[in-house]
Amino acid sequence: MRYLCYDTALNEEYTLIRLLQQYPRNISLFSGTDDEGIWDAAPWLFEVETDFYALRKKDPLIRLDHCILFETGEPPEEVIRFLQGIFYKNTGEGPVYFRVWDARVLLENFREWSEKDRQTFFEFFDCFYTEGAQPGCMDRWAPDVKRGLVAEQREIGSLFPEERGWEQEEERPLENGKKEASPGPPPVSGEDLPPPKRRRFFIE
> What per-residue confidence (pLDDT) applies to 19?
97
Q: What angle do CA 43, 46, 52 make, to 5 degrees?
A: 105
> What per-residue confidence (pLDDT) applies to 183?
42
- For 12-120, strand residue ranges (E) read 26-28, 43-48, 68-71, 88-91, 94-97
pTM for the predicted model, two decimal places: 0.78
- List, in order, residues 6 or more apart from 43 with CB less than 8 Å away: 5, 6, 7, 8, 9, 28, 29, 30, 101
> What per-residue confidence (pLDDT) applies to 204?
42
Q: β-strand 43-48 against 26-28: which pairing, if any? A: antiparallel
Q: Please list the ranges in the chain whose pLDDT falls under 70.
A: 147, 161-204
Output the CA torsion 142→144→150→152 (10° steps): -60
**Segments making up each domain of the chain, as ranges:** 2-181
> What per-residue confidence (pLDDT) applies to 55?
95
- For 61-178, strand residue ranges (E) read 68-71, 88-91, 94-97, 127-131, 137-143, 149-155, 171-173
> What per-residue confidence (pLDDT) applies to 97?
80
- Helix (H) or strand (E) holding 4, with range, is strand 2-7
- Amino acid identity of residue 149, one-letter, is L
